[in-house]
Amino acid sequence: MESKSENVILFPGLKKALEEESLKALQEKKYEEALKKLNQLISYHEYTYEIIIGKLICLMELGRHEEAQDLCEDLIQHKDENYYHYVHIYLTILFQTSQYSLLMEQVEYEFEQNNVPDILHEQFKQLHDMSEQMKLDFTIENSSNIIDELFAAVNQDNHVEQWNIVAQLRSMKAQPVSQVLSLLTNDYVHPVIKTALLDWMKDNKISDEVEIHKFSISMSVIPSEIPDLKANESFKEILKVMQDVEQNNPTLFQLLEQLLYRYIYVIYPFIPPDGDVVEIGKAIKNIGSQYLQLHTNQNEETNTKVQHYMKEIRMCDSLYLSIIEE
């Protein structure tokens, strides 16, 4: 259905009157009234720079930042002669609404294009730098509260909540504080959570030696030097033992790979001896075949070491799935 404005001509006299009335309302800070007049002009397809800027001012002054942001995002899709003026207003809105990451991304994009006018270059840089500092301050302030929540979840023995909090801290790019190290040696912290904590420390390139306890075993590691789980030599060697399954039964192989990943994830950074790689591969094959109700070689199941690893792998699979949904 066509709007009335599509069939009605805006006579010069009416256009001039609306422009003057909207400007007067703006000067008198009557933003609701000014916006109504400006929207009326826009409804007649009047899109001059002055009208658009006037509307943006009204929206911002009325606290309707989301509408102002949407309008800016629409305007900067079309790189006309006023493009950088709209970008400047857009960045201002993002800063006022604490959207620091989005602001920084936009400024970095503009600088990559290498077309920012000199008069705006320094202002864009200042907005970027202030946003970076505000984001850092926000992260520090909030991570302190979130770490308190993490310790509360530990005291409540709420493993899933612990996992969610560590994931949140990692996504915030928060820095692990020294008190977090104590969780690695706390026997009441779930082994899956300890792996997540190590990954968080690895993200932050922690180069100090830390101690970790799992399953009554302890060791010292440097998080920044721990290889990614799938890059670990033991993981790759065990996977090779199961490689023959990939061509014959891709579905089974996918399950075996999942079982191996979960097993290593739970025990990480503790790695089984290199000499046990074949037995672990056989144990995982047996468990995978049982899960899919396939025929298994009973001789392998009677091997004491294979039986030991089957029990350990099942336990780790259960521990992993008790925290991480797949």
In this predicted model, what pLDDT tens digit does every residue of 245-302 receive, in sequence order? 888 888 899 999 999 999 999 999 998 888 899 999 999 999 998 888 766 554 444 5
- Same-domain pairing of 165 and 261: no
Q: How many domains does the chain have?
A: 3
For the chain, state the CA radius of gyration.
30
- Same-domain pairing of 75 and 163: no
Quote the pTM value. Answer: 0.62
Q: Please give the pLDDT value at position 145.
A: 83
Q: Please give the pLDDT value at position 297.
A: 52
- Same-domain pairing of 85 and 165: no
Residue 177's contacts (CB-CB under 8 Å, 6 or more residues apart) are: 143, 144, 147
129 domain residue, yes or no: no
Beta carbons of 26 and 54 less than 8 angstroms apart: yes
- Same-domain pairing of 9 and 96: yes
- How does residue 11 score in pLDDT terms, banded at 50, 70 and 90? low
Query: How many Å apart are CA 278 and CA 238, to the nearest integer?
Result: 7
Q: Please give the pLDDT value at position 270.
A: 92
What the block records as the tokens of 19 is 């422009």
| CA dist 155 → 116, 166, 205, 315 (Å) | 53, 15, 28, 24
- How does residue 172 score in pLDDT terms, banded at 50, 70 and 90? confident
Run of H or E residues at 219: strand 217-221
Phi, psi of 136 (to 5 degrees): -65, -45
- Percentage of residues of the chain with pLDDT beyond 90: 61
| CA dist 259 → 61, 239, 254, 309, 316 (Å) | 57, 11, 9, 12, 9
Burial class of residue 145 (count of CB atoms within 10 Å of its CB; 0-12, 13-18, 19+): exposed
> Of 292, 235, 236, whose CA–CA distance to 262 is shortest?
235
130 domain residue, yes or no: no
277 domain residue, yes or no: yes
Q: How long a stretch of residues is the chain?
A: 326
Q: Which domain holds residue 301?
A: 230-321
| CA dist 257 → 41, 199, 316 (Å) | 63, 20, 14
Q: Please give the pLDDT value at position 46.
A: 83
- How does residue 12 score in pLDDT terms, banded at 50, 70 and 90? low
Beta carbons of 285 and 242 less than 8 angstroms apart: yes
- Same-domain pairing of 152 and 244: no
- Same-domain pairing of 208 and 303: no
